[in-house]
């Protein structure tokens, strides 16, 4: 057990050092996820003249939390893996006594830690400029939010990594992510809280993995009504579904891999 923990810490330390080398780019990566802050202004303005069931302050809290969740769950493994397969760089990883996915996972987790100071700085700046939106969630909300964000990240990662495995069959596996992103933007709660959706649409959307990537953890922290047990069970269920598909595609894909691309 100690040996495994030592390997994990070594992986994280190496990739953290690698990410810190690009700390200037980290600032740009953080700012590139500022879409929720832009949408916040739109919905705050709309809340003053419309009837959405949420006040302008509710929208402000919602979208600043969306910004936080997006920063902690962003994933890019499909582009890295696609490049490795197409250029044949995956071969060296396969020679190592460890699944290549752990390299990508360690890189993503280390990058989260590296960007935290920039995220907190932007959130602090937001509350200075808009003090009306300050609120203090209780300990239970914080713990549930932390668990939901962690599981949401792993769900997002396993979904995108599953799509990435199609690189064994096509050189443009990233096109799947682009197509998936269209649904992700509108059904995850990124563009608008699901509470403003028609109830029949919301009922259907809750059977997909999208709401549990953003809307569910955000609702837990902000205090919007949400079915907590069902939410966590849905996240775990979708993780298992995509994980099973992932392992099947991995085994089938390796049989096609030639060492010089698919």
**DSSP track, 53-81:** SS-HHHHHHHHHHHHHHHHHH---HHHHH
pLDDT for res 7: 67
Its pTM stands at: 0.89
Token digits of residue 113: 């830690």
**Could you write out the DSSP letters of every residue in 83-128?**
HHHHTTTHHHHHTSSS-THHHHHHHHHHHHHHHHHHHHHHHHHHHH
Residues 183-193 as b/e (b if ≥16 CB within 10 A, e otherwise) read: ebeebbbbbbb
C-alpha to C-alpha distances, 65 to 27, 50, 68, 94, 255, nearest whole angstrom: 18, 22, 5, 39, 43
Q: What is the pLDDT of residues 57-103, one digit of tens each?
A: 888 899 999 999 998 999 999 999 999 998 888 888 888 888 899 88
Token digits of residue 221: 């922290």
Among 144, 113, 120, CA closest to 222:
144
| Rounded Cα distance, 74 and 156, in Å | 8
Query: Does residue 1 have a pLDDT over 90?
Result: no
How confident is the prediction for the chain on average, in pLDDT?
86
Token digits of residue 71: 């920063």
Proportion of the chain above pLDDT 70, given as a percent: 88
Structure confidence at residue 257 as a pLDDT band (50, 70, 90) = confident
| Rounded Cα distance, 94 and 240, in Å | 24
Dihedral sign, Cα of residue 183, residue 189, residue 191, residue 192:
positive
Q: For the chain, how big is the Rg over CA atoms in Å?
A: 20
Token digits of residue 7: 């390997």
Q: What is the pLDDT of residues 235-247, one digit of tens each?
A: 999 999 999 999 9
Do residues 247 and 75 touch, judged by C-beta distance below 8 A? Answer: no
Q: Is 226 helix (H, G, I), strand (E, B) or coil?
A: coil
C-alpha to C-alpha distances, 31 to 15, 27, 87, 121, 159, nearest whole angstrom: 22, 6, 30, 12, 24
| Rounded Cα distance, 69 and 48, in Å | 26
| Rounded Cα distance, 60 and 67, in Å | 11
């Amino acid at each position: 057990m100690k040996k495994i923990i030592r390997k994990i810490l070594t992986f994280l330390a190496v990739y953290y050092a690698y990410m810190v080398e690009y700390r200037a780019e980290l600032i740009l990566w953080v700012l590139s996820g500022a879409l929720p802050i832009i949408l916040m202004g739109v919905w705050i303005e709309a809340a003053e003249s419309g009837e959405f069931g949420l006040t302008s302050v509710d929208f402000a809290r919602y979208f600043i939390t969306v910004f936080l969740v997006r920063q902690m769950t962003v994933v890019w493994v499909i582009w890295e893996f696609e490049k490795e397969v197409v250029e044949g760089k995956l071969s060296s990883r396969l020679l190592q006594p460890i699944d290549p996915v752990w390299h990508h996972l360690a890189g993503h987790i280390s990058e989260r830690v590296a960007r935290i100071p920039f995220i907190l700085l932007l959130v602090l700046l937001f509350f200075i400029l808009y003090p009306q939106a300050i609120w203090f969630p209780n300990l239970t909300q914080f713990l549930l939010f932390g668990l939901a964000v962690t599981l949401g990240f792993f769900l997002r990662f396993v979904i995108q990594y599953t799509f990435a495995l199609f690189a064994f069959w096509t050189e443009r596996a990233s096109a799947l992510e682009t197509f998936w992103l269209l649904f992700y933007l509108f059904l995850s709660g990124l563009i608008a809280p699901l509470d403003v959706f028609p109830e029949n649409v919301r009922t259907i959307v809750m059977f997909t993995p999208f709401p549990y990537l953003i809307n569910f953890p955000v609702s837990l922290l902000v205090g919007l009504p949400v079915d907590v047990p069902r939410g966590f069970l849905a996240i775990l269920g979708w993780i298992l579904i995509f994980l099973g598909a992932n392992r099947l595609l991995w085994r089938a894909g390796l049989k096609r891999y030639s060492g010089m691309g698919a």
